[in-house]
Amino acid sequence: MNPRNRFSHVSPTTSEPHVVNAIIEIPKGRRSKFELDEETGLFKLDRYLYSSSHYPGDYGFLPNTLAEDGDDLDILVMVNEPTFTGCLIQARAVGLFRMRDRGVSDFKILGVPNTDPLFAEYRDLKDVPSHFLREVEHFFATYKQLEGAAIETDGWASSKEALAEVRASVARFCR
């Protein structure tokens, strides 16, 4: 059995068109990279980031999707308070960060918790403080530098592009 099947009952999307289901692996502020282990279905400590930096939001994936890098589609959720590994967040997709890891597309959805009133006005990239977008870009551009991995960043795209990426990753998974 593929341990990922433990999430086979969790849809990547919800009844609200802009809202997706995110399963969190790494809470905001952590330098430890936790990830779902293919063999056991447990969340395991993959590594401690080589760079002295921490995740700028809660970070995880959309279950039952397949991104171009062969993993689930990644998501970074802006949070006022870190949640925890394994937490399900219904997140409103507000943008898409495009990057390539060792030549392979590795896009990140940017979301906000749909039920957090402090993010109620966040609908698209223009609603997100531009400094936060710069922080995220800088994080992903540098977090693997000391591992010698070549990351190329392609900047930000709209919530519309983010939802198109969700749909493409759902379709890829179902193929």
Among 106, 113, 114, 119, binds Mg ion (CB under 5 A): 106
* Site residue total, Mg ion (CB under 5 A): 4
Neighbours of 126 (CB within 10 A): 11
Spell out the residues 6+ positions from residue 128 whose beta carbon is closer than 8 angstroms to its own.
78, 94, 95, 110, 122
Residues paired with 13 in a beta bridge: 20
68 binds Mg ion (CB under 5 A): no
165 binds Mg ion (CB under 5 A): no
Amino acid present at 144: K
35 binds Mg ion (CB under 5 A): no
Determine the interface stretch with Mg ion among 24-32, 36-44, 74-82, 164-172 (rule: CB under 5 A). 74-82
58 binds Mg ion (CB under 5 A): no
Whether the CA torsion 32, 123, 161, 171 is positive or negative: it is positive
Determine the interface stretch with Mg ion among 3-11, 23-31, 65-73, 134-142 (rule: CB under 5 A). 65-73
74 binds Mg ion (CB under 5 A): yes
Q: Which is nearer to Mg ion, 61 or 119 (CB)?
A: 61
CA distance 97 to 157: 6
25 binds Mg ion (CB under 5 A): no
Pairing of strands 88-101, 32-36: unpaired
CB of 120 to Mg ion, least distance (A): 29
Q: Which is nearer to Mg ion, 123 or 144 (CB)?
A: 144
CA distance 16 to 50: 38
Q: List residues binding Mg ion (CB under 5 A).
A: 69, 71, 74, 106
